[in-house]
Amino acid sequence: MSQPAALPADDDPIGPATPIYRLVPVEQCEPLDGAWMFGSGAFDNSSEEGFENEMSVVLGDTLVLLDRDPSDLPQRAYADQPERWGVAVLEAGCITDVNEQTIHRTPTEHERAHGDVRGNKNSKRRRRLKKCATWVIPPAAPVP
């Protein structure tokens, strides 16, 4: 039996072509022509105290090493209501090209592929991130 690949160290670099996944709830989406589109809050920092300068993400290079697919992220993270969550993907290079944004490996007990995009996200920066993003899967909840 082969050993699983070692996971990156917290300080290992994240290449510009690395897919970066963002879980997006329906509250941060807007309906348009029967489909969910990213809303203005989809790429904003946390409002949780102590994390106001961070946007939670999942790192694609680590997901590959864990032999996981990004489409299962809503079910794994929000098993009680996965239909309310979609998964967006951006390339790491697009994120770091936006002024003052850095990506950090911050694995947690529940998500070994967790990361944070750090930096102030004013409306201009959020729009630039939104332009780089596409859906891996949109929320499964019906569009109003």
Domain ranges of the chain: 19-120
Exposed / middle / buried, residue 11 (Cβ in 10 Å: 0-12, 13-18, 19+) = exposed
Q: What is the pLDDT of residue 3?
A: 54
- Checking if the pLDDT of 7 tops 60, the result is yes
- Checking if the pLDDT of 5 tops 90, the result is no
Q: What is the pLDDT of residue 4?
A: 59
State how far the Cα of 54 lies from the Cα of 33, in Å rounded to an integer. Answer: 31
Q: What is the pLDDT of residue 40?
A: 84
Longest dimension (CA), the chain: 50
SS3 125: helix
Q: What is the pLDDT of residue 120?
A: 95
* Tokens representing residue 50 in the block: 């102590």
